[in-house]
Amino acid sequence: MIAYLEPLKLLIYGERAIPGTASSGFGGFCDCGGMMTQKTWHQNGNLKILVSECENCWKIEALVFDGTDVIGREEVRDFKRNDLKEFLSVLLSSTELEAVMNKLEGERYNYSAYNRAKKKLENIGLNLEGLISEIIF
Ligand SMILES: [Zn+2]
């Protein structure tokens, strides 16, 4: 899954969270014929990835650049603040997600499941505390 975490401007690409630099301006044309607006640029090794959003259908795409050549165009699943729990549910087991949610709500939680969740996110370069501080319901 290629995912975009809107509140953190992070692109999850190749099992790695890549921070982005905010941008604006023309981002190409969408399949629907609409104009796309640049959101963020992400550096992935030698490649640059542009995340842009269609102003007509709100689809989000990632364009992969090698220099000035576009070598890939991929649809991106967008997660806004109120979707971040869903994002975690894709990555984590139900026990891990429950531990994270319990901790977030100030309840007793399964410490080892929470730590496993934290480790899983760290492995792709995500900070669990930073992520859950952005969650809204
Ligand atoms: Zn579109």
Q: Give 77-110 pLDDT, tens digit per residue.
A: 999 999 999 999 999 999 999 999 999 999 999 9
36 CA distance to ligand 1 centroid (A)?
Answer: 7
Using left for φ > 0, alpha for ψ between -120 and 50, and beta otherwise, residue 19 falls in beta
55 CA distance to ligand 1 centroid (A)?
Answer: 7
13 CA distance to ligand 1 centroid (A)?
Answer: 21
Q: How confident is the model at residue 135 (pLDDT cuts 50, 70, 90)?
A: confident
pLDDT of residue 134: 87
Residue 59 pLDDT exceeds 70: yes
Nearest partner of 2 among 41, 43, 51, judged by Cα:
51
Question: For 25-36, how does the pLDDT look when each residue is reduced to its tens digit (9 = 90+)?
Answer: 999 899 999 999
